[in-house]
């Protein structure tokens, strides 16, 4: 559009109402400052507090940053990244973040799908179940992290129940070792996240035409086949969306690890963000912390792009037949 006016835009609205607004003499108004005035306060704040720090994070990662007021910081090139490369705890944090992602994403998708399909039909009690599954999602990370730390305590409920079911001898020190602690933290992640994927899948399932599934049933397709060929196919964009968001979320795990293990014992359970936080705010190494943050951002970005490529074509089970 060459001429800008401050009259209301028509395209989207007329697409909704189906009515083309009558053209009037007002269309040809001169370039106006109005939209910019509406944008200015919010956008200025956004630029100053989000975009500027974003640029700053990249810049800081190349400095030996000095936090003391007035003191100058030294440009050290890639040194912070080299440090990360040679830092075993950085690699351990990266692996732990990956493990957390791998242990939380598939269960959240599968359980979310399962619950959503179960709650899809209008049946009594449906609303109540939906609320119960969604409650953990709205509860603060601080509260549920402390709660799970309590449940996974040495003489906590989890050990008691597992012992009662004869699955363990009931004396597992969950938060005392690297892998058991990762299991506990991941259990929290799944428990808190299932409701979220469930809601997204439920909404997506509303858009799947029943007729398609019925047609497949008439054609003799079994439950599983109907689910993969018709249902899953129809909600595929939502599956992709949930997967990408959960992978991003998995690498952004922070509060639960910080409050359940603090990254300990002896940095065994550090994830990328808790390690970044420790470098920055315990050791005041802002440059190194920034480098870790930048690496995490790049990693998440690359993973998202790869996933979107892989998922572009919906996988249809049994297409060969």
Give the footprint of another protein on residues 271-300 (CB under 8 A).
Answer: 273, 276-277, 280-281, 286, 289-290, 293-294, 296-297, 300
Residues 6+ apart with CB under 8 A from 264: none
Residue carrying structure tokens 């007035």: 70
If binding is defined by CB under 8 A, does position 70 make contact with another protein?
A: no
If binding is defined by CB under 8 A, does position 67 make contact with another protein?
A: yes
In the region spanning residues 32 to 61, those forming contacts with another protein, defined by CB under 8 A, are: 32, 34-36, 38-39, 41-43, 45-46, 48-54, 56-57, 60
User: How many Cα atoms within 13 Å fall on the side-chain side of residue 233?
Assistant: 16
Q: DSSP of 176-232, one letter per residue?
A: GSHHHHHHHHHHHHHHHHHHHHHHHHHHHHHTS-HHHHHHHHHTT--HHHHIIIIIH
Specify the residue, 6 or 267, whose C-beta has the smaller distance to another protein.
6
If binding is defined by CB under 8 A, does position 320 make contact with another protein?
A: no
Single out the residue of 109, 200, 246, 247 in contact with another protein (rule: CB under 8 A): 200
- Other beta carbons within 10 angstroms of residue 266's beta carbon come to 9
Identify whether the C-beta of residue 319 lies closer than 8 Å to the C-beta of residue 233.
no
Identify whether the C-beta of residue 60 lies closer than 8 Å to the C-beta of residue 290.
yes
Single out the residue of 214, 282, 302, 306 in contact with another protein (rule: CB under 8 A): 214
CB of 102 to another protein, least distance (A): 19
In the region spanning residues 119 to 148, those forming contacts with another protein, defined by CB under 8 A, are: 119, 121, 123, 125, 129, 131-136, 138-144, 146-148
Q: Could you give the CA distance from residue 100 to residue 103 in angstroms, rounded to a whole number?
A: 5
CB of 157 to another protein, least distance (A): 5
Specify the residue, 1 or 320, whose C-beta has the smaller distance to another protein.
1
Specify the residue, 72 or 320, whose C-beta has the smaller distance to another protein.
72
Identify whether the C-beta of residue 135 lies closer than 8 Å to the C-beta of residue 195.
yes
Single out the residue of 62, 90, 196, 275 in contact with another protein (rule: CB under 8 A): 196
Single out the residue of 101, 151, 184, 232 in contact with another protein (rule: CB under 8 A): 151
Specify the residue, 100 or 196, whose C-beta has the smaller distance to another protein.
196
CB of 263 to another protein, least distance (A): 14
Residue 265: asked if its preceding bond is cis (omega within 30°), the reply is yes
If binding is defined by CB under 8 A, does position 85 make contact with another protein?
A: no
Identify whether the C-beta of residue 175 lies closer than 8 Å to the C-beta of residue 152.
yes
């Amino acid at each position: 559009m060459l001429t800008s006016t401050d009259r209301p835009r028509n395209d989207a609205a007329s697409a909704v109402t189906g009515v083309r607004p009558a053209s009037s003499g007002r269309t040809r108004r001169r370039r106006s400052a109005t939209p910019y005035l509406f944008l200015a306060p919010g956008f200025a704040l956004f630029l100053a507090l989000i975009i500027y720090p974003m640029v700053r994070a990249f810049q800081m990662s190349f400095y030996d940053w000095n936090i003391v007021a007035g003191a100058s910081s030294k440009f050290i090139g890639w040194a912070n990244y080299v440090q990360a490369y040679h830092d075993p705890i950085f690699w351990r944090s990266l692996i732990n973040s990956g493990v957390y992602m791998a242990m939380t994403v598939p269960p959240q998708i599968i359980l979310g799908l399962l619950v959503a399909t179960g709650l899809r039909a209008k049946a009594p009690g449906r609303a109540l179940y939906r609320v119960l599954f969604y409650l953990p999602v709205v509860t603060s990370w601080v509260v549920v992290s402390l709660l799970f730390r309590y449940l996974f305590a040495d003489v906590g409920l989890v050990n008691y129940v597992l012992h009662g079911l004869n699955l363990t001898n009931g004396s597992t020190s969950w938060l005392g070792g690297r892998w058991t602690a990762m299991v506990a933290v991941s259990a929290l992640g799944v428990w808190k996240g299932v409701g979220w994927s469930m809601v997204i899948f439920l909404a997506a399932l509303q858009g799947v035409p029943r007729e398609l599934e019925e047609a497949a049933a008439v054609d003799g397709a079994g439950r599983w086949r109907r689910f993969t060929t018709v249902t899953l196919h129809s909600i595929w964009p939502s599956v992709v969306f949930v997967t990408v968001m959960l992978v991003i979320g998995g690498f952004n795990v922070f509060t639960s690890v910080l409050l359940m293990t603090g990254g300990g014992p002896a940095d065994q359970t550090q994830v990328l963000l808790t390690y970044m936080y420790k470098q920055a705010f315990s050791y005041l190494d802002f440059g190194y912390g920034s480098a870790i943050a930048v690496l995490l951002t790049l990693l998440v970005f690359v993973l998202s792009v790869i996933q979107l490529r892989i998922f572009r074509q919906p996988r249809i089970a049994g297409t060969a037949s």
